[in-house]
Amino acid sequence: MRQPHGGKLINRILDKDKRKLIKDKIFLFKSIMLNKRQISDLEMIAIGAFSPLEGFMNKEDYENVLYNMRLANGLVWPIPITLPVNKDEAKRFEKGEDIALLDEFGTVLGVLHLDEIYQYDKELEAEKVYKTKDSKHPGVNILYSQGDVLLSGKISLLEKPKHTEFTNYYLTPEETRKIFNEKGWNTIVGFQTRNPIHRAHEYIQKCALEIFDGLFLHPIVGETKSDDIPADIRMKCYEVLIENYYPKNRVILAINPAYMRYAGPREAIFHAIIRKNYGCTHFIVGRDHAGVGNYYGPYDAQQIFKKFKEEEIGITPLFFENAFYCKKCGGMASSKTCPHSEDEKIIFSGTKVRQMLQDEKIPPLEFTRPEIAKILIKGMKQKWTEYNI
């Protein structure tokens, strides 16, 4: 099993005694109410998923990440992890003080040990991280709508954010590493998706299972785009698939409470590092990993790994072409394994499948398992009803 990024799994969760000491004086602290994405980042830092980060980035790290995709110490890191506030709010704070971090209900989740307050250029960040300044890009839209000042400092977690869904699937990096060790897995391949599972995913995952000791299915359940398939539907699909079509002793399913950035190539590196921290030795990178719209080239998410030596990232990427069903081969294949013409290939776009589901039509078996299709139709019908789509 690989070492965590930076060599040490970070743990910023306070023990009982330290938590009591802070709680006894928390009423003296100024406070910030976090949004859901900031709460997710707080949790991911605290449990070590964002190792080696111990808090929100200072200016030196932030600028190095923008320009070089590295922290100031040279360690590969592609995505800024920051805590933005508006200018008026920033005026309330002074370096060196502790700030209570609240959820929307006023619960104190943690403390920011403030060490720096700095301004930043949103358009520069958009261009560097997302490769576009277009506010229609979901990541850029969030960036433009957030505060103009960043606060940095280590964090301490007092209370883990409540996960009312998927509680049986919530595992920290420390816990997954323990499970992998207990199972005797030396090679673990991680798989990331925000989409419902289909036959192409299944094909890729089972190809990996032929080679490696275990498969770690780690779908994102933090907030995604409004037109993405909801997390509860995606998780039900995984449960059915594992129950009926996978060797249960070789697969671990757990939630990833992170938020999607839709940063394409940079986020592919980011997702690989996160899975390394959870204990994976390998990570599957799709053709358009973490992409959205037409903002990134077809293979940018795979090409970006060439910018770094493998030992710098510390996890081995596995690159897969788009898979499809070939009528002549009689099974799933990709351009690497199938020599036949386009006429023999059954390729379903997300738009076409979404329309079929909306019309309550079961997609062909070549695209998805019937059990999965039924879950998708039922779940999406409920979603469309709720949103009057």
Give how far the C-alpha of residue 217 lies from the chain's centroid of Cα atoms, to the nearest Å.
Answer: 12
Strand partners, 277: none
Separation CA 54–CA 48 (nearest Å) = 8
Q: Which residues are the active-site residues?
A: 194-195
Q: For the chain, how many residues are written? A: 389
Q: Show the DSSP H helices in the chain as ranges.
A: 16-23, 36-46, 59-68, 87-90, 122-125, 138-145, 173-183, 199-209, 231-245, 265-278, 300-303, 310-313, 350-358, 370-386
* Distances in whole angstroms, Cα of residue 6 to Cα of each of 9, 68, 177: 8, 17, 16
Ramachandran angles phi, psi of 355, nearest 5°: -65, -40
Query: Contact 301/289 with Cβ under 8 angstroms?
Result: yes
Torsion of CA 267, 6, 182, 175, to 10 degrees: -60
Q: For helices 265-278 and 173-183, what crossing angle results, to 10°?
A: 60
Give how far the C-alpha of residue 378 lies from the chain's centroid of Cα atoms, to the nearest Å.
Answer: 26
Ramachandran angles phi, psi of 101, nearest 5°: -110, 115
Helix (H, G, I), strand (E, B) or coil at 300: helix
Ramachandran angles phi, psi of 149, nearest 5°: -130, 140
* Distances in whole angstroms, Cα of residue 9 to Cα of each of 12, 36, 113, 136, 274: 10, 24, 20, 36, 11
Separation CA 165–CA 175 (nearest Å) = 19
Q: Which residue has the tokens 């009423």?
A: 27
**Residues in contact with 361: Cβ distance below 8 Å, sequence separation at least 6, in sequence order:** none
Query: Contact 252/217 with Cβ under 8 angstroms?
Result: yes
